[in-house]
A = this chain, B = another copy of it.
Amino acid sequence: MKLASSRDRAAGRPVSRQVLADHVYEELLASLMDGRLEPGAAVSIDGTARELDVSPTPVREALARLEHTGMVRRVALKGYRVAPVFTQEDFAELMEARLAIEPVNARLACSRLTPDGLAELQEAVKDLETAPRGPSFVEFREYLDADERFHKLIAEQSGNQFMLAAYAALGGQVQRFRLFGGVGITDAEQAIAEHRSVLEALASGDPERAAAAMADHVQKVRARAIADAPAD
């Protein structure tokens, strides 16, 4: 796995210049999302630098940023490690937090929804419907991306930078809860219907109805996940 060898950079164009640390960030994020990096595994700075053919400095900066997302943890002097898997308690806490934040986002977004914003939301739901849903990570990645995009768009449309920041604080984790047990996407049809309900509520212009639709969606996601949870 190589981003762009020093030879390539030394040659013609500077590839894009200065985004090197950003590329490392994106590459590590993709590895975490896809499960290539298993929870608990050590993320060596030097090793990652060699693997991506860069120096340790941008890797260090990328990891410092990733630490704030909760995906990796820094153990003072032992380096970075991938955060442990979700337990059912973690999942319950995440849903509790989403239930506190996301309905508020929906209410705020409903008040100041623009035609462009509505179009983007409709596109996200459409992608959700057409995305493939296989058993492998790469196969339902587009589905998860569309899901994440839908909720993030609502947070952005809220017009409140702090609510967006609060959502982003748990946003990176939202994706990973799917991995707690290795279950795939089994509730796509119901989830799509709920997303459509949220979309309709937003389009109706009634803020309370939008908030209620979002709360209903989150609660049903929680209920389904508990039902699907592996009996340990």
Question: Shortest CB–CB separation between residue A12 and chain B, in angstroms?
Answer: 20
Q: Which residues of B contact A57 (CB under 8 A)?
A: 57, 60
Which residues of chain A from 118 to 166 have any CB-CB distance to chain B below 8 Å in the complex?
159-163, 165-166
Report the stretch among A26-34, A62-70, A183-191, A196-204 that lies at the interface.
Answer: A62-70
Distance, CA A160 to CA B90, complexed state (A): 8
Distance, CA A64 to CA B97, complexed state (A): 26
Q: Which residues of B contact A104 (CB under 8 A)?
A: 100
Query: Is A42 interfacial (CB 8 A cutoff)?
Result: no
Query: In the complex, which range does the number of interface residues on chain A fall in?
Result: 20 to 34
Query: Is A170 interfacial (CB 8 A cutoff)?
Result: yes
Q: Is the interface of A mostly helix, strand, loop or mixed?
A: helix
Query: Is A93 interfacial (CB 8 A cutoff)?
Result: yes
Q: Which residues of B contact A108 (CB under 8 A)?
A: 96
Q: Which residues of B contact A100 (CB under 8 A)?
A: 100-101, 104, 163, 166
Question: Shortest CB–CB separation between residue A142 and chain B, in angstroms?
Answer: 25
Distance, CA A64 to CA B165, complexed state (A): 16
Contact of A161 among B60, B90, B98, B166 (CB under 8 A): B90
Q: Which residues of B contact A97 (CB under 8 A)?
A: 160, 162-163, 166
Nearest 9 Cβ contacts at the A-B interface: A97-B162, A169-B169, A68-B68, A166-B166, A64-B64, A100-B104, A165-B169, A162-B170, A93-B160
**A-B contact list, 16 entries, CB within 8 Å:** A17-B77, A57-B57, A60-B61, A61-B61, A64-B64, A65-B65, A65-B67, A65-B68, A93-B159, A93-B160, A96-B108, A97-B166, A100-B100, A100-B101, A162-B169, A166-B169
11 new A-B contacts at CB < 8 Å, known A18-B76, A70-B165, A90-B161: A18-B77, A57-B57, A57-B60, A64-B64, A65-B65, A65-B68, A93-B160, A98-B162, A165-B169, A166-B170, A168-B169
